[in-house]
Amino acid sequence: MSGKAVATGSPAAVSGAANPWLIAMVVALASFMEVLDTTIANVALPYIAGGMGVSEDEASWVVTTYLVSNAIILTASSFLARLFGRKRFFLICLGLFTLSSLLCGFAPNLNALLLCRVLQGLGGGGMVPVAQSILADAFPPAKRGQAFAVFGIAVVVAPVVGPTLGGWLSDNLSWEWCFLVNVPVGLLALALISVVLHESAQPTVRTPQDARFDVIGFILIATFLSALEVVLDRGLEDDWFGSSFIVTSTVICASAFILMIPWALTRPNPIIDLRMLATRQFGACFLVMLATGAILLATTQSLPLLVQQDFGYTATWAGLLLSPGGVVTMVMMFVTGRLAAKIQPKYLIVAGAMVIACSMYLMTNVYSDLGFWFMARSRMLFGVGLPLIFVPIMAASYDGIDPEKTDQASALINAARNTGGSIGVSIISNVLAHREQFHQNRLIEQVVPSSTQYQDALQQITAFFTASGSSSAKAHAQAIQWIGQQVQAQASFLSYMDAFLVLMLISLSAVPLALMLRNIKLGGPVHTGH
């Protein structure tokens, strides 16, 4: 690892003998495992509900508790990494994550499982920002884009692999293996990190002020993020503001947000320096990452749901539909890593946003006769665009950030990705629910007995079922049922068209934000002036 990070006083974890690329692979492995758990349990919820004798609504807290605890620890990861040192803190988080994964697999009831998921989220939430900080300091600027490409594979491909792996494990083994699969990988990562990563001799906490923990700031930011996650994740299921629980959570979220801004802006050493968000460079990167997280998680959830609901795909085939896009994403990560050393980040981000917008536009033409490869090609096009945003935004976000604030920058960028994902899923879930109802009402207006078109269709379909061997009365009932199914299917298709149109607009919103970014010195030292 570069000695420059140590010289600047950055609390880096360095390696004197180990190859930086080995460090990148090891921390990416741990990050992949953590991000995987944000989606792997989603498809296993029916199995968890059945195995523990609870409703699916109760089982969905398995996902919510993980996201909430993940958001909470993100805010404290910067201080804890400085206090304990990055290597020690990373190992603590990884150890807690691995142990809690084991406990999740053997949880005797839902309450025990939720407690273990909280611990798992606390352990996992601290790993990704610290891993990102390690990479930022382990590589010289000229190689940083390629290093973030390796990291990008972990955090971008993992949500895609999660539903596929979770579905296969639940179908063929049991839901417990969605958690137990982390144990051998976690133990391997613990051993490798202990060997290849060495802590800098530079003291991580140099003054009493550095060692002072901003308790009030932490409580405010953690409350805001956790309440926001609860509102976004539970809002649709609990009927939004028709639920007193959601109303209370929203009031708590808004109050914490209003109080945390003046507090963070007036502290000399806040838990998270929100002033970074007011800068042109980092603020734009934060918003682009928010949009990227929204699109990534929303498409990863909505596309498998579409093909299972309206095309009759199994969970395994729905997961396989995402696989070609995942392969393209992995290849493009390395391509983009090289391009990032030669092309300004803002131009790569614009290109990526336009490519993703095109892939979303293709999916606005969805209909019942589409085959596997049409949607797979759309996902592959998405896989081309995503790295063009992700890698440069990771590199550009550190431009203008003082070395001692690298951990805080990592925490904020990862909070943007996580929160953006929750926002995206919430938006698309609401679009699908409300627009499907809207389209169904409009279509039903045309399906009335007085309509000649309806009567003609009813007669033709009744004749078809009669020719198939049904009695006249039964064929008539089958025809009415078939027409109702078609109305529902068309309403579903139209709602997905609306959802993909919304995602296309979100992608295009990244274009003006990217153009706000200033040019950086490619392959040179990172600019440290604000």
Question: Which domain CATH number covers 150?
Answer: 1.20.1250.20
Confidence category of residue 56, pLDDT binned at 50, 70, 90:
low
Type and span of the H or E element at 14: strand 13-14
pLDDT score, position 76: 79
Strand partners, 198: 14
Q: Are residues 47 and 167 located together in one domain of the fold?
A: yes
Give yes or no for residue 378 having a pLDDT over 70: yes
Give yes or no for residue 436 having a pLDDT over 50: yes
Tell me the average pLDDT across 149-174: 76
Q: Are residues 248 and 319 located together in one domain of the fold?
A: no
Q: Are residues 117 and 260 located together in one domain of the fold?
A: no
Task: Give whole-number Cα distances, 431 to 242, 376, 498, in Å.
Answer: 18, 23, 7
Structural domain ending residue among the three candidates 193, 213, 233: 213
Strand partners, 14: 198
Tell me the average pLDDT across 382-398: 84
**360-364: long-range contacts at Cβ-Cβ below 8 A with a sequence spacing of 24 or more?**
360/295, 360/299, 360/500, 360/501, 360/503, 360/504, 360/507, 361/500, 361/501, 361/504, 363/303, 363/496, 363/497, 363/500, 364/497, 364/500, 364/501, 364/504
332-336, 401-405, 521-525 — most confident range: 332-336
Residue 219 sits at φ, ψ, to 5 deg, of -60, -45
Q: Token match 């001799």: residue? A: 201
Confidence category of residue 508, pLDDT binned at 50, 70, 90:
very high
Task: Give whole-number Cα distances, 471 to 208, 221, 452, 475, 476, in Å.
Answer: 87, 66, 24, 6, 8
Tell me the average pLDDT across 443-453: 75
Tell me the average pLDDT across 284-309: 84
Task: Identify which has the larger pLDDT, 247 or 40.
Answer: 247
Give yes or no for residue 411 having a pLDDT over 80: no
Q: Are residues 424 and 442 located together in one domain of the fold?
A: yes
The range of the structural domain enclosing residue 497 comes to: 274-530
Q: Are residues 334 and 229 located together in one domain of the fold?
A: no
Confidence category of residue 3, pLDDT binned at 50, 70, 90:
very low
pLDDT score, position 7: 35
Q: Are residues 161 and 25 located together in one domain of the fold?
A: yes
Give yes or no for residue 354 having a pLDDT over 90: yes
Structural domain ending residue among the three candidates 213, 228, 252: 213
Q: Are residues 417 and 480 located together in one domain of the fold?
A: yes
Find all residues with CB under 8 Å of 129, minimum gap 6, and list them.
74, 77, 78, 81, 407, 410, 411, 413, 414
Collapse the DSSP code of 344 into the 3-class scheme (helix H, G, I; strand E, B; otherwise coil) and give the result: coil
Give yes or no for residue 99 having a pLDDT over 90: yes
Q: Are residues 515 and 455 located together in one domain of the fold?
A: yes
Give dist(CA 411, CA 217) in Å, integer.
15
pLDDT score, position 504: 92
119-123, 302-306, 407-411, 440-444 — most confident range: 119-123
- Please report which residue ranges of 340-405 form alpha helices under DSSP H: 345-362, 372-396
Q: Among 313-322, 359-368, 432-441, which is the least confidently predicted range? A: 313-322
Number of structural domains (the chain) is 3
Q: Are residues 359 and 449 located together in one domain of the fold?
A: yes
Give yes or no for residue 2 having a pLDDT over 60: no
Average pLDDT, the chain: 79
390, 152 Cβ separation under 8 angstroms: yes
Give yes or no for residue 41 having a pLDDT over 50: yes
pLDDT score, position 528: 40
Give yes or no for residue 191 having a pLDDT over 90: no
Give dist(CA 98, CA 155) in Å, integer.
18
Find all residues with CB under 8 Å of 521, minimum gap 6, and list them.
141, 527
Q: Among 159-168, 194-203, 350-359, which is the least confidently predicted range? A: 194-203
pLDDT score, position 154: 75
Tell me the average pLDDT across 374-380: 86
pLDDT score, position 210: 53
Q: Which two tokens stand for residue 309?
A: 């609901």
Q: Are residues 256 and 283 located together in one domain of the fold?
A: no
Q: What amino acid occupies position 364?
A: T
Q: Among 41-50, 260-269, 425-434, 482-491, which is the least confidently predicted range? A: 41-50
pLDDT score, position 331: 85
Q: Are residues 209 and 221 located together in one domain of the fold?
A: no
Q: Among 69-78, 286-295, 307-316, 521-530, which is the least confidently predicted range? A: 521-530
Tell me the average pLDDT across 165-180: 81
57, 177 Cβ separation under 8 angstroms: no
Helix axes 141-152, 372-396, angle to 10 degrees: 140
Give yes or no for residue 530 having a pLDDT over 50: no
How does pLDDT run across 250-272, given as a tens digit for each residue? Answer: 999 999 889 888 887 887 777 77
Q: Are residues 426 and 283 located together in one domain of the fold?
A: yes
Structural domain ending residue among the three candidates 226, 252, 270: 270
Give dist(CA 359, CA 523) in Å, integer.
32
Confidence category of residue 16, pLDDT binned at 50, 70, 90:
very low
